[in-house]
Amino acid sequence: MKVTDYMSPEQVYLDAPIRGKEEILHFVSQAFAQCGAAPDKRTVYDCMKEREDIMSTGIGGGVGIPHAACAGVTRPAVVIARLARPVDFQALDAHPVDVIIAMVVPNARVSLHLRLLAAISRLVKSTNFLDDVRSASSSGDLFSHIKEIENSMAFH
């Protein structure tokens, strides 16, 4: 499974001017509505907020992976955002995040939800991914680099 199968270069955002965790959730919710994965921003925001209230999806190392399975989501999708500056996301290591990889899937697709989270985890752990995100000069270039990384991975 490849993360890039669930996104396009238009779902990659560089230097997003976000100032906090709530803004991150609103930003990615809007992005999912814009790409057609959900009928509206509120549907995704409510699901993501509910998930974040259970436990932060800030995994450490400057990375947040907000994700949710939502009844109103029409198709699985991934959004990647490099923030203009790090923000507090209540991450496990207590460090701010500057890279967001958000994911939504339809509520009935639990297995896909888990497989896509695993694919995101493999991508984050890969050698060049975070460096590529943090140094990318354009969304298109970053999307291409991510595809190259995924194509070079043994499992996808």
Q: Which domain holds residue 88?
A: 3-152
Give the CATH number for residue 60.
3.40.930.10
Distance CA(24)–CA(44), nearest Å, equals 12
Number of domain units in the chain: 1
Alpha carbons within 13 A on the beta-carbon side of 141: 8
Q: 59-115, pLDDT tens digit by residue? A: 999 999 999 999 989 999 999 999 999 999 999 999 999 999 999 999 988 899 999
Question: Quick one: DSSP state of residue 121?
Answer: H
Strands 58-60 and 63-64, bridge-based pairing = antiparallel
pLDDT value at position 74? 94
pLDDT over 60 (residue 156):
no
Distance CA(28)–CA(78), nearest Å, equals 9
Q: 1-36, pLDDT tens digit by residue? A: 899 999 999 999 999 999 999 999 999 999 999 999
Helix and strand numbers (H, E) in the chain are 5, 6
